[in-house]
A and B are shown apart, each in its own frame.
Chain A
Amino acid sequence: MAVPRWLFFYLWIAPHALQAVLAIVMIRRRLLQQFPAFFAYTVYEVVQFLVLFTMDQFDSVPQIQWGTTEIIGRTGSMILRFVVVHEIFDNVFQSYPALKAFGGVVFRWATVVLMIIAVTVVGYSAGTDLNRFTVVYTILDRAVSIVQCGLLVLLVLLARFLSFPWTSYAFGIALGLGFFASVDLGIAALRAQYGLAVAAEITDPISMATYHCCVLFWVVTLLRPERVIGRVGSPPSQELEHWNSVLQRLLQQ
């Protein structure tokens, strides 16, 4: 099931063009200080694309060299995405001094637990590739996908439980990343089961399309002004009395 060439090129070029736009939006909105890792990740993806695309245009570049560069580039992306997840945790908890330390502890422990789970899962699952390089890559790919997906699920769960306002840029970035991480995890599992080359025909277009959607979501999120929760309006006096009586009962019990 090969996708048409034009669609493949569109899915390859468009998300990175959008990421260049995203980087500009971040500079214009002065979001660099708030999300330095996300900015670095965005710029890295654009640079990585430019390198790979340029290499692709030259017939003199052997396929193996292109493939190696791609895998090294993807590994860099994985590491940077991990840094972005850490940055989102920091960003979400930093406005709550009481929970600052809690956020750090949750991140560290969740990472350790998820890594143990990931190593166990990867250790028990099968692989078909014989190439040592691709075996290492698929193992790393699955392990990192499990950890990232798990961390983002935990973050969204915590945010829901603690009633954090679902309005900030950090959540937009987290949701986009979570969406991509979950699809990437499924794809990593398929790659490990059927081999990089066999799965590539099906999984690559899905992965690229998902990434396109995520980047589009990030651009839309960062282009919109950050929603600020309005002030509490004065409740009608009878509501206030009711509220007072509820508090009174609670405190006098």
Chain B
Amino acid sequence: MTITLLLILFALAALVFFVLGGFGPIRHLDQNKLSKHIREVDLEAFRNLVDPDEEEFLRVNLPPNEFRAIQRQRLRAALDYVAAVSHNAALLLHLGQSARRSTDARIAEAGQNLVENALRLRLYSALAISKLCLRIAFPVAVLQPAGIAERYQQMTEGAAQLGRLQYPSNGALFSRTL
């Protein structure tokens, strides 16, 4: 009877989920105000937070209790950064999705590249978040969310390339930016 109840509860939850998934509010971003939604990410600070050498230095020079406390704080900060990267990747996905439908082949290609980079980064961020959560629980374990910073940089370069193609009149501005 318990299993039957559990199955019925799961079925009900799935039913609600499908109804909300199909008819619930879909987030439409105003692409003209995309930049307002972008969260700032300090890549250098993030690299520092997940740097194994830095961690090793702290491990050697601090008492274990203090190391664990500080390491947890560092990992929470890194988690915030990865969450922001994931959020930005989702925003750039929207931008890329629209651009890849462009009639201009170059814009469509740049949009496609941006989408691919952003998708990879979003998946990678999810993995990194789970790793960081594990590490917050077990701060002594060695699990590096390496590669996030590089992939993020790759994605923002893709976004910049798309910007240059879509708004050539602002090319100088983009060149200076990227």
Chain A positions within 8 Å of B, measured between CB atoms, are: 96-99, 102, 121, 124-126, 142, 146, 149, 152-153, 156, 160-163, 165-166, 171, 175, 178-179, 181-183, 185-186, 188-190, 192-193, 228-237, 239-251, 253
CB within 8 Å of A: which B1-31 residues: 1, 3-4, 6-8, 10-12, 14-15, 17-19, 21-22, 26, 31
| Contact status B31-A175, CB under 8 Å | no
The answer to whether A146 touches B35 (Cβ under 8 A) is: no
Extra A-B contacts (5), CB below 8 Å, given A96-B116, A231-B99: A185-B7, A232-B99, A246-B38, A251-B160, A253-B45
Which one of A98, A125, A165 contacts B4 once the chains associate, using CB atoms below 8 Å? Answer: A125
- Cβ–Cβ contact A253 & B44, under 8 A: yes
Say what secondary structure dominates the interface of chain A. helix
State whether B40 touches A182 (Cβ < 8 A): no
B residues with CB within 8 A of A: 1, 3-4, 6-8, 10-12, 14-15, 17-19, 21-22, 26, 31-36, 38, 40-45, 90, 93-95, 97-99, 101-103, 115-116, 119-120, 122-123, 126, 152-153, 156-157, 159-160, 163, 166-167, 170, 173-174, 176-178
Q: Which of B10, B18, B94 has the most CB of A within 10 A?
A: B18
Alpha-carbon separation in the docked complex, A139 to B68 (Å):
50
Q: How far is the CA of A163 from the CA of B40 in the complex (A)?
A: 20
Contact of A250 (CB < 8 Å), options: B1, B12, B156:
B156
Instruction: Give chain A residues whose Cβ lies under 8 Å from the Cβ of B1.
Output: 126, 193
- Do the beta carbons of A179 and B18 come within 8 Å of each other? yes
Which of A183, A232, A251 lies in contact with B98, CB distance below 8 A?
A232
Given A175-B21, A182-B11, A243-B34, do A162 and B122 touch, yes or no (CB 8 Å)? yes
